[in-house]
Chains A and B, each alone.
Chain A
Amino acid sequence: GQQVMQIPQYQHVQEGEDFTTYCNSSTTLSNIQWYKQRPGGHPVFLIQLVKSGEVKKQKRLTFQFGEAKKNSSLHITATQTTDVGTYFCAGHTGGFKTIFGAGTRLFVKA
């Protein structure tokens, strides 16, 4: 069945360093979403990408959708302690099912 692989599983960074998490789908996606979950919290929507090759920015966060619409990445520039949490990608191929990646847990050391 459809799978969305996300790497790395964990990332430890020093505050101020950059961070990137990657998602790869076994099938072409109609769109992909990114969510952030703070420790002990629930996932919160960050952004959605729809177009092939799309790039969107939110302050220090840059989201990309691959040309083949099978992969995506989230890059955080100059991490801060407030960036701590788990970042999930979620892929849609149509219909009502959302397939989440396993998430990348980000640790930021001050």
Chain B
Amino acid sequence: NAGVTQTPKFQVLKTGQSMTLQCAQDMNHNSMYWYRQDPGMGLRLIYYSASEGTTDKGEVPNGYNVSRLNKREFSLRLESAAPSQTSVYFCASSGRDQGTEAFFGQGTRLTVV
């Protein structure tokens, strides 16, 4: 089992460009999450999806959109990248609603210049 797979691992964007970060899990999990990690800020929740067909905003949703394409896949889109979005992005999934172990992908290191 691959677990949670994120692509790409690294990306450099120019300000104003758009891109989509892809995430897929093969554990049949209902819940999926997107976090960003900045130095000294820990992991901040951008969006989450409790189940296929539903998405909700987290702590820092501005500038991002998400799509829960099916149970396996949860993508994060930056429509017009800004330098403030330079960060490491992690996708995660968990089996049930709250309080179960979250499995993280390897992360995407995004730089916006």
* Chain A positions near chain B (C-beta within 8 angstroms): 1, 6, 9, 30-31, 33, 35, 41-45, 48, 50, 88, 90, 92, 94-103
Q: Which residues of B contact A102 (CB under 8 A)?
A: 40-42
Size bracket, chain B contacts: 20 to 34
Given contacts A6-B42, A9-B40, contact A98 B102 (CB under 8 A): yes
> A89–B107 Cα gap in the complex (Å)?
19
Spot the interface stretch: B65-73, B79-87, B93-101: B93-101
Q: How far is the CB of A50 from chain B (nearest CB, A)?
A: 7
B99 pairs with A48, CB closer than 8 A:
yes
Instruction: Please state if B99 and A97 are interface contacts (CB–CB under 8 Å).
Output: no
CB–CB B90/A97 < 8 A: no
Considering the chains assembled together, what is the distance between the CA atoms of A14 and B50 in angstroms? 43
Structural contact, A96 and B48, CB atoms closer than 8 A: yes
